[in-house]
């Protein structure tokens, strides 16, 4: 079985969530014996369709443009058994590179009109390969894919053998989501194997591949903080991620989800401890972090029996958290105080270093 995987993401490696999902799918297909070729559209020269219809008249089946689409991609598309169209969701549909690719498959059909299932269509010049659409999107709701789903189904009809829509894509490289991601990635490889074996993906496997990983309530506070931090620091989101920057909390309510996200259960072992913060200055109030059996409870208000109590100006602790101030030095200079089990203070960065 010949598979052509067309990836239209402009990004690469771990930064490209399209590529992450596609790699697992391709891995599964290869394990099942398929001959898979991955084409990255960002490396190809594909001119826009100019609507001259030369491919329908003067040179039937061949586009007028002399570029990578005509010389390489179109013949590969025409001759493969399955074509995976892997695209980031941009403005609720395929991105521009993918749309340019799709438009340039016009020589696949003849110019004539025929009525099929009550609608006007062009008859095929070549039989279309089976199509798999894979798309990733930043938003958490599945409905974000409504337009691409409708488009893909209208365009490819019965040739569309699988639709893989991965929400909350930007979490795909998030260490704190690794456990959930493991199953998504395993299921995606399984989906690849099923595609080669049965030309479809089972309902169960697809549900695992596309399982929700977050929702608006969990995503928005952290996401908004991260964007605000980028704006304040004058860095791109790519630089923010590369430098392992931390979204700077602006309130106790946003401090708590940042701590939940940063919590590293692999470092806490069997530690059972409660750390309380008494914040002063611009943001006043109490909150606590209760670590038990590698799980974390992060709540507002004072704790009953804290093992460590930190009294600090809010902004100072946020400076320490985001690496703008040295925690040890600030402690020596008595800019904040800590009482109780000071070992917890020393280990703080380790426990919340995700």
Which residues of the chain form contacts with ligand FMN (CB under 6 A)? 9, 11, 16-19, 88-92, 136-139, 144, 169-170
Which CB sits closer to ligand FMN, 32 or 147?
Answer: 147
Minimum CB separation from ligand FMN for residue 42, in Å? 10
CB nearer to ligand FMN: give 8 or 70.
8
Least separation in angstroms between residue 144's CB and ligand FMN is: 5
User: What's the angle, vertex CA 135, arms to CA 145 and CA 181, rounded to 5?
Assistant: 105
Q: How far is the CB of 21 from ligand FMN (least distance, A)?
A: 9
Q: Please identify, using beta-carbon distances, which residue of 35 and 146 lies nearer to ligand FMN.
A: 146
How far apart are CB 171 and ligand FMN at their closest, in Å? Answer: 10
Residue closer to ligand FMN (CB basis): 43 or 91: 91
State in angstroms the smallest separation of the CB of 235 from ligand FMN: 16
Beta strand 308-313 with 295-300 is: unpaired
- Output the CA angle 100-105-108, nearest 5 degrees: 170
In angstroms, give the least distance from the CB of 247 to ligand FMN.
Answer: 17
- Considering the complex, state which of residue 56 and residue 92 has its C-beta at the smaller distance from ligand FMN: 92
In the bound state, the residue with its beta carbon closest to ligand FMN is 88
Q: Residues 107-113: contacts with CB within 8 Å, 24+ apart?
A: 107/55, 107/56, 107/60, 107/61, 107/62, 107/63, 107/74, 108/77, 108/78, 110/56, 111/53, 111/56, 111/57
C-beta of 19 vs 163, nearer to ligand FMN: 19
Contact 142, 167 (CB under 8 A): yes
**304 burial level (CB within 10 Å; 0-12, 13-18, 19+):** exposed
With residue 318 as reference, give the H or E element that holds it: helix 314-321
Cα distance between residue 16 and residue 192, in whole Å: 19
Q: Give the integer Cα–Cα distance in Å for 164 and 5.
A: 14
CB of 54 to ligand FMN, least distance (A): 32
Q: Which is nearer to ligand FMN, 11 or 297 (CB)?
A: 11
> What's the min distance (Å) between Cβ of 242 and ligand FMN?
15
Nearer to ligand FMN, 144 or 161 (CB): 144
What Å distances lie between residue 182 and 2, 166, 179, 213, CA to CA?
28, 14, 5, 12
For ligand FMN, the closer CB: 223 or 306 = 223
Cα dihedral 190→193→195→198 (10° resolution): -110
Q: What residues pair up with 274 in beta bridges, in sequence order?
A: 290
Please report, in angstroms and rounded to a whole number, the separation of the first and last CA atoms in the chain.
42
Distance CA 272, CA 290 (A): 8
Residue 166 Cβ, how far from ligand FMN at the closest point, in Å? 8
- Distance, in Å, from the CA atom of 351 to the CA atom of 354, rounded to the nearest integer, reads 8
């Amino acid at each position: 079985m010949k598979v052509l995987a067309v990836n239209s993401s402009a990004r690469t490696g771990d930064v490209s969530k399209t590529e992450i999902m596609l790699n697992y799918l391709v891995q599964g297909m290869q394990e099942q014996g398929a001959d898979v070729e991955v084409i990255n559209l960002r490396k190809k020269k594909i001119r826009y369709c100019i609507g001259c219809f030369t491919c329908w008249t003067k040179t039937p089946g061949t586009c007028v443009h002399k570029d990578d689409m005509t010389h390489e991609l179109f013949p590969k598309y025409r001759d493969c058994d399955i074509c995976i169209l892997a695209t980031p969701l941009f403005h609720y549909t395929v991105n521009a590179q993918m749309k340019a690719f799709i438009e340039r498959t016009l020589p696949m059909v003849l110019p004539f009109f025929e009525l099929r299932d009550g609608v006007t269509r062009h008859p095929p010049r070549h039989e279309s390969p089976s199509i798999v659409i894979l798309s990733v999107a930043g938003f958490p709701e599945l409905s974000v894919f409504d337009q691409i789903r409708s488009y893909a189904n209208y365009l490819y009809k019965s040739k569309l053998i699988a639709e893989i829509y991965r929400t909350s894509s930007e979490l795909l490289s998030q260490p704190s989501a690794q456990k959930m991601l493991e199953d998504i990635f395993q299921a995606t490889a399984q989906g690849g194997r099923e595609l080669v074996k049965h030309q479809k993906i089972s309902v169960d496997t697809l549900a695992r591949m596309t399982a929700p990983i977050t929702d608006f309530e969990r995503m928005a506070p952290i996401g908004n903080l991260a964007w605000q931090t980028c704006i304040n620091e004058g860095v791109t989101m790519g630089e923010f991620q590369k430098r392992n920057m931390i979204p700077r909390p602006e309130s106790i309510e946003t401090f708590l989800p940042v701590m939940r996200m940063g919590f590293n259960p692999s470092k806490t072992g069997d530690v059972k401890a409660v750390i309380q913060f008494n914040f002063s200055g611009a943001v006043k109030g109490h909150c606590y972090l209760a670590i038990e059996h590698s799980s974390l409870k992060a709540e507002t208000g004072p704790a009953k029996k804290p093992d460590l109590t930190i009294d600090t100006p809010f902004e100072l602790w946020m400076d320490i958290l985001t690496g703008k101030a040295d925690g040890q030095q600030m402690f020596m200079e008595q800019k904040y105080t800590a009482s109780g089990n000071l070992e917890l203070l020393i280990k703080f960065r380790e426990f919340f270093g995700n």
